[in-house]
């Protein structure tokens, strides 16, 4: 097998193993067996288990789907399309879970294990995007286009709803009568408009 094809095969086997057992639980021996090669072949392509893990993370970041998502996000930001930005965030999370939930499980394992390599990778990828979005929503608030809510809270709201819904339906087996497009539209509307009509004054809870 040509080296690039073998490398992709090993990355696929590693992703499967790391997503089922985490970094600590998965072994290079079982990854080799899953790929139908010897453990020596694994180390010929990757000098260590840590290097293999890092390559799995980087391979996900370099995927065409991820690049297209970032381009769509920037497209809506350039046009001050607030609904488009929020919808793109929500749709990207749902699509990620549906396309290959294994990477999401791998990230959860990294958090559970306190695996700094995985957590640091997530921060390197997510924080720049978060900061770009925070700047965007802050600017839109300053322009008077959006209410003056905390920009970080706005991002967390749309991402949090989408992440929870994706986990419930893709990991925990909960069904849903709504399609992804309907869910994205609903979450976007909730963040943009809230759930209380403008003519109604929200009641304060009893202290």
How many Å from the N-terminal Cα to the C-terminal Cα in the chain? Answer: 69
> Can you give the pLDDT at residue 61?
73
Mean pLDDT score across all residues of the chain: 92
Residue of 16, 23, 143 whose CA lies nearest to 80: 143
> Can you give the pLDDT at residue 199?
62
Residues 10, 24 contacting (CB under 8 angstroms): no
Structure confidence by residue, pLDDT tens digits, 126-152? 999 999 999 999 999 999 999 988 999
- Percent of the chain beyond pLDDT 70? 95
The strand ranges marked E within 13-166 are none
> Can you give the pLDDT at residue 67?
87
Model confidence at 207, in pLDDT bands (50, 70, 90)? very low
Predicted structure pTM score: 0.87
Structure confidence by residue, pLDDT tens digits, 10-62? 999 999 999 999 999 999 999 999 999 999 999 999 999 999 999 999 887 77
Residues 95, 166 contacting (CB under 8 angstroms): no
Residue 200 backbone phi and psi in degrees, to 5: -105, 135
Mean pLDDT across the stretch 195-204? 65
Residue 79: DSSP 8-state:
T
Residue 202 has pLDDT above 90, yes or no: no
- For residues 90 and 162, give the distance between their C-alpha atoms in angstroms, rounded to a whole number: 5
């Amino acid at each position: 097998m040509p080296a690039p094809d073998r490398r992709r095969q090993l990355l696929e086997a590693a992703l499967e193993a790391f997503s089922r057992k985490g970094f600590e639980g998965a072994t290079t021996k079982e990854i080799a067996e899953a790929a139908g090669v010897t453990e020596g072949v694994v180390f010929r392509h990757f000098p260590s288990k840590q290097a293999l893990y890092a390559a799995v993370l980087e391979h996900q970041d370099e995927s065409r789907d991820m690049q297209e998502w970032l381009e769509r996000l920037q497209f809506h930001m350039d046009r001050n399309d607030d609904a488009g930005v929020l919808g793109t965030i929500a749709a990207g999370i749902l699509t990620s879970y549906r396309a290959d939930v294994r990477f999401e499980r791998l990230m959860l394992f990294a958090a559970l294990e306190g695996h700094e390599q995985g957590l640091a990778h997530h921060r390197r990828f997510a924080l720049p995007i978060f900061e770009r979005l925070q700047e965007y929503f802050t600017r839109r608030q300053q322009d008077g286009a959006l209410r003056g809510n905390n920009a970080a809270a706005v991002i967390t709201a749309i991402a949090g709803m989408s992440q929870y819904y994706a986990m419930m339906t893709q990991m925990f087996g909960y069904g849903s009568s709504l399609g992804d497009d309907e869910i994205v539209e609903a979450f976007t509307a909730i963040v943009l408009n809230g759930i209380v009509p403008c003519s109604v004054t929200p009641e304060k809870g009893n202290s």
